[in-house]
Amino acid sequence: MSPLKTWYTSLTNALTISSMEPSESRFGGPGLVSINSMPPELLSHIFLSVDTQYCYGISTQSQLYPPYFPLRSNSTPSHLGSVCTYWRKVSLATPALWASLHIIIPGFNHSGILERVRTHLERSGSSLLSIILSGDRALSNDDLDLVSEAVVAAEPFQNLPGHLLVLCEVLRSIFHQADRITRFSLRIPGQVSTASLLLRSQHRFVTLSHLSIPLQPQESMRSLFDMLGSLSCLRSLEIFDLEPREVDRTMASKLAQITRIRIGLATLDQICTLLSFCPNVCSARVALCDSRNYHSPPNIPNLPLLHLHAFHIDIDAFTQMECVAALFTAMVVSPRLTELTVTTSPRNHAEQRAQDVLFPALQPLLTNLDTFCIEGFHLDRSKFSLLLERMPNLCHLEVVDIKRWVEEYNRAMFVGLLEDLSEWRVTPRLTTLRLSLRNWVGDNLFENMLESRVGTLHSVYLELVEGTGARLDLKRLRALQDQGLAVRVVEVARYFGLKGKIEIVGYQKEATVKK
């Protein structure tokens, strides 16, 4: 056994909650290795996986928020370093631990946030930076001019209002590290053009591989693409709020290197045009917002997405299914597509036509799928069963949040789904299943389906939403866990608008959950 594997085994044993006496557990117990006896290199590696948060395509370990913000600030390296002298030494000797930041600039009560940002940047050494920077106070056009001048000035401006002074100094500190920034999101409320600000900064973002920005109402697509053209290492792009801009096809070359793209709140034409600009895209997520009344299906040219393997579409409350179907029809040349997620707003009444309009357009894309997730739809059992039969290679299935106000259809659909999944002709390779059921009562269908797939199904997550006391056979579920199936059942209830979860059946510690 390799030394690294030995230490990981020791760590697992040291952190396992067992039936030892408290005194034994505290000191590791007989035969167990204390975590502090690990070499600093391994402990440093473990620290880099602790307490990460994901937002705008960026993982951060430190969140620096205003004191009045609903979420609390958290500096993971500082907290780890406060445990003991050894951990402090390791955290200070791990520059990458200080290199991922989510910063919110306060509109008032700045409370040393600039000093904390500078401390993290200094301790990050030469590590590549991942930064999310936003503000909680909207800026005007005049404010933007002041910020732009102050950021590029040789000396700091001293006569700015408090909230602008802190913002400018944080921007100056960050932009001076531009050559180290590899993942960046800049979101300042108001009329601030992120693209223009980055262009004016006069700093070279030579390692920037991921960028997430919103577009302001007055901002042109030209300024965005001019900025993108200066980022030679950019491979991942998130852009939001495109409506109602026109996308000029002369800009196509600026996105040729993109392999991951997220497009928020865009029309069908904008999405198709931008996707056509990305011939090498592997992963795409789009939010379709198109309220036009299509009397006939829109005619969209084919999109040859030869490298696309994951596609996620969010459909807003006013978009017609004909519009979505046209997009899927245009994607017919996607030979590597293996992951598909389709979600819609619960307020979208047009999605009731999905089984007649959308599902036929989906069918040519299903053959090679190994992951399929669908959320928010009113599903007809027979039509959905037909979709499942078109996915012989499916390994991961997720069906979430069916229409809450059509309880009879919801219950009937899930009865049919569980009955279909009990038969091997439907998704014979299924290994992971996630279901969200409303007002479910049981009837042993869930347990029967699990027992029919023992040996092939690895993990199941069942969420009972607004339930009325589901009748589940816990003895049968525990027996399935003993056979190696990872099963978790939670009940979700809403209290005064808040959402709470109660665990009914939890994963056993020996179970292996496959994500």
Angle at 364 between CA 291 and CA 411, to 5 degrees: 70
Residue with tokens 């009045």: 68
> Pairing state of beta strands 283-288 and 310-315?
parallel
Question: CA 177, 178, 184, 190: dihedral to nearest 10 degrees?
Answer: 100
In this predicted structure, the answer to whether residue 490 has a pLDDT above a threshold of 70 is yes
**Residue 71: per-residue pLDDT:** 81
* Residue 489 CB neighbours (<10 A): 20
**Residue 394: per-residue pLDDT:** 96
pLDDT in tens, 160-176: 877 788 888 898 899 88
Tell me the mean pLDDT in the region 310-319. 88
**Residue 510: per-residue pLDDT:** 47
- In 16-140, which ranges are continuous DSSP H helix? 22-26, 40-47, 76-81, 85-92, 113-123
In this predicted structure, the answer to whether residue 190 has a pLDDT above a threshold of 90 is no
pLDDT in tens, 230-285: 788 999 999 988 766 777 777 778 889 999 999 988 888 889 999 999 999 999 99
Angle at 169 between CA 165 and CA 171, to 5 degrees: 120
**Is residue 97 within 8 Å of residue 47, measured between CB atoms?**
yes
**Is residue 417 within 8 Å of residue 454, measured between CB atoms?**
no
Please give the Cα distance from 369 to 339 (Å, whole number): 6
Please give the Cα distance from 479 to 505 (Å, whole number): 12
Q: 14, exposed or middle or buried, with CB in 10 Å at 0-12, 13-18, 19+?
A: middle
Please give the Cα distance from 147 to 497 (Å, whole number): 40
Whose CA is closest to 245, among 226, 217, 272, 284? Answer: 217
Please give the Cα distance from 77 to 91 (Å, whole number): 6
pLDDT in tens, 196-240: 777 767 568 899 999 998 887 667 777 778 788 778 899 999 998
Q: 402, exposed or middle or buried, with CB in 10 Å at 0-12, 13-18, 19+?
A: buried
Structure tokens at 476: 């049968």
In this predicted structure, the answer to whether residue 403 has a pLDDT above a threshold of 60 is no
Whose CA is closest to 215, among 233, 241, 234, 238? Answer: 241
In the chain, what's the furthest Cα-to-Cα distance? 75
Please give the Cα distance from 380 to 408 (Å, whole number): 12
**Residue 295: per-residue pLDDT:** 66
Phi/psi region, residue 365 (left: phi>0; alpha: psi -120 to 50; beta: rest), is alpha
Please give the Cα distance from 400 to 433 (Å, whole number): 11
**Is residue 17 within 8 Å of residue 26, measured between CB atoms?**
no
Tell me the mean pLDDT in the region 439-443. 67
**Is residue 134 within 8 Å of residue 104, measured between CB atoms?**
yes
Mean pLDDT of all residues in the chain?
82
**Is residue 231 within 8 Å of residue 211, measured between CB atoms?**
yes
Residues in the chain: 515
Question: CA 359, 366, 344, 496: dihedral to nearest 10 degrees?
Answer: 120
For the chain, report the end-to-end CA distance as a whole number of angstroms: 27
Whose CA is closest to 102, among 79, 77, 127, 131? Answer: 131
Please give the Cα distance from 486 to 493 (Å, whole number): 23
pLDDT in tens, 279-309: 999 999 999 887 777 666 678 889 999 999 9
Query: CA–CA distance from 414 to each of 169, 431, 476 (Å)?
Result: 55, 19, 20
pTM for this one?
A: 0.84
Phi/psi region, residue 57 (left: phi>0; alpha: psi -120 to 50; beta: rest), is left
